[in-house]
Amino acid sequence: MLKKAIPALLLLCISTTPVTAQAITTQASPANAKLIVGLVIDQMRWDYLYRYKELYSSNGFRRLLQEGFSCENTMIPYTPTYTAPGHTCVYTGSVPAIHGIVGNSWYSRLTKKYVYCTDDSTVSTVGSNTDAGKMSPGNMWTTTITDELRLSNNFKSKVIGIALKDRGAILPAGHSANAAYWYDDKVGKFITSTHYMPALPQWVSRFNDKDLAAKYMSQDWNTLLPLAKYDLSGSDDVPFEWNIKGEKTVTFPHKLSTITKDKYEAFKTTPFANTYTFDFAKAAIENESLGKNTVTDFLTVSISSTDYIGHSFGPNSVEAEDTYLRLDKDIAEFLAYLDNKVGKGKYLIFLTADHGAAHVPAFLAEHKIPGGGVDDADIKMRLLKAVEEKLNIKNAIDNVVNYQVYLSDSAKNNEAVRELVIEELKRENAVATAVDLNELAESTLAEPMKTRLTNGYMPSRSGDIQFIFKPGYFDGGKKGTTHGLWNPYDSHIPLLFYGWGIKAGKLNRETYMTDIAATLAALLQIQMPSGCVGNVITEVMK
């Protein structure tokens, strides 16, 4: 099966004119960038760049659009479109079939348990007494562009990864990073693991001692603008939104100051946690002297609260709109900080997303647009029942996760079970089709679905049968939204380059998430990551 999947992988490489890093280096400035900043906005749909454009300031998103280079048609070339594969793809230039991160979690046939993408029982938490730090990049099989930067100069470059989510900090920073820091929502502090260091640096401890999360939670979340100005969003009071943990309402103002129990967890579902992430990023630049090295340094920053807020309230909520208006201000302030601290033209920043998001099905229903939520657990129960009743085989289904069915060891090689499961899946109202992943290369699936499923398939970690939902449907309930599919609302992401070595402009031809690492390698004149399948986007370079 793996040999059959390789030609589909190569489609990515021939979809644009192949250009090697060596061929275009003369277009880039010979001077080193002092600092590269990778900014991944978790769950940022591409259309958010333009939907709220008239409300953005001139110094945030609009500065990046007007003075930087925008790849307008950048797609994620695999499924499932989740946070862990997304961050991994951005920094490896590779796909799950090669880098191994096939989901945020996957089912292990060996242990009969879920495997979380960055779980590592061999390391310990540094910075708190919880297990939130038992993490490392060990499950990722390839190098990242950050690893390659360190390798290129005998590890003189400093690389630091920062995010609220562990996977958003660890996977981008790579295997050899100086540090990766993420947020422990039990204690309200940034932590790390012994994979990186035995104890937190003093500056991180001093930052944590400020308890900024609690200070941000002492203020309520009101809209930046009068509520009537949010005419690009739906009603503020709707029954299909989830409330912030600790609140009893989904409407503004959000009384964060009244939340006492689990306040550090609730903090993640506020725009102030984005600001907090930038606070920590600035502290890292200052205290680690990033950008003052004799070689290029690299800071990876993932903005996670956009995802928490998006899941709870959906793309058409006032909360989402207000979050992006506030994020625009955060980005403007961060760019001004970089101008002052590193120097305008001396740093390179790229902005992208790990995935998008679907509309809330109940919102679509209000406007007579098809969609819906389906529970994977219900699908599993119906499949188990059908196989037992029709084939007299019990416990044929081990799990249903990542839109894939994992058959049990006893049923895995039973052709009748495979055929029946596919037949039953196709009976599901939400399912467009289903396919045996062993026969994916011979399937009649339409493009780009076939290639994207192939690129996401790793036999040792993936399931046996893939089902594809109709547009607008996903694994979820009646409130909030999610992502994970091949459709444009999940796979069409922003991609902006700005600063050192970048010319202003816009590109409308199709590019891919895998092209980001290849382009950075060309700009930096270093080797591409070990599993990179992307192409250099030559148009972005001076």
- Retrieve residue 217's tokens: 């939670």
Name the pLDDT band for 261 (thresholds 50, 70, 90): very high
DSSP 135-161: B-STT--S--HHHHHHHHTTT-S-EEE
Q: DSSP letter at 298?
A: E
Peptide bond into 198 cis (omega under 30): no
Active site (annotated) includes residue 296: no
Read off the pLDDT of each residue in 494-514 and give the average, rounded to a whole number: 97
- The pLDDT of 228-252, averaged and rounded, is 96
What is the pLDDT confidence band of residue 450, given thresholds at 50, 70 and 90? very high
Confidence of residue 31 (pLDDT cuts 50, 70, 90): confident
Q: pTM of the predicted model, to two decimals?
A: 0.94
- Asked if pLDDT for residue 19 goes beyond 80, the answer is no
pLDDT in tens, 34-58: 999 999 999 999 999 999 999 999 9
Does 5 have pLDDT greater than 80? no
CATH number for 373-470: choose from 3.40.1390.10, 2.60.120.10, 3.60.20.10, 3.30.1360.150: 3.30.1360.150
CA distance 436 to 444: 11
pLDDT digit string, tens, across residues 65-113: 999 999 999 999 999 999 999 999 999 999 999 999 999 999 999 999 9
What rounded mean pLDDT belongs to the chain? 94
User: Lowest-pLDDT range, 13-17, 59-63, 247-251, 443-447?
Assistant: 13-17
For the chain, state the CA radius of gyration. 23
Question: Is the model's pLDDT at 18 over the cut of 80?
Answer: no
Residue-level pLDDT at 7: 40
Model confidence at 16: pLDDT above 60: no
467 pLDDT above the threshold of 50 = yes
* pLDDT-based confidence at residue 542 (cuts at 50, 70, 90): confident
pLDDT digits (tens, 9 = 90+) for 306-353: 999 999 999 999 999 999 999 999 999 999 999 999 999 999 999 999
CA–CA distance, 43 with 329 (Å, rounded to integer): 18
CATH 3.30.1360.150 positions along the chain are: 373-470
| pLDDT tens digit sequence for 53-73 | 999 999 999 999 999 999 999
Looking at residues 210-224, what average pLDDT do you find?
A: 98
**Encoding tokens for residue 387?**
């196989």
C-alpha distances (whole Å) from 225 to each of 52, 171, 271, 322, 325 are: 13, 36, 15, 8, 9
Q: What gap in Å lies between CA 238 and CA 517, rounded to an integer?
A: 41
Q: Would you state the structure tokens that stand for residue 317, as one six-digit string? A: 């909520």
What is the spatial distance between Cα 95 and Cα 6, in angstroms, rounded to a whole number?
12
The pLDDT of residue 255 is: 97
33-363+486-504: what fold? Answer: Alkaline Phosphatase, subunit A (3.40.720)
Residue 248: alpha-carbon gap to chain centroid: 29
DSSP conformation class of 16: S
Chain position carrying tokens 């399948």: 533
Q: Which position among 81, 83, 144, 277 bears the catalytic label?
A: 83
> Residue 149 corresponds to which tokens in the numbers above?
């930067």
How far apart are alpha carbons 23 and 21 in whole angstroms?
A: 6
The whole-number pLDDT of residue 11 equals 39
Residue 182 near residue 168 (C-beta atoms within 8 A): yes
Find the distance separating the first CA and the last CA of the chain, reported in whole Å.
42
**3-class SS at 79?**
coil
d(CA 532, CA 128): 36
Q: Token pair 């930067």 is at which residue? A: 149
Residues in the chain, how many? 542
Run of H or E including 191: strand 189-193
- Res 403 pLDDT > 60: yes
pLDDT surpasses 50 at 23: no
Domain with CATH 3.40.720.10 in the chain: 33-363+486-504
The whole-number pLDDT of residue 9 equals: 41
In whole angstroms, give the CA distance from residue 399 to residue 433: 19
Q: What is the 3-state secondary structure (H, E, C) of 380-429?
A: HHHHHHHHHHHHCCCCCEEEEECCEEEECCCCCCCHHHHHHHHHHHHHCC
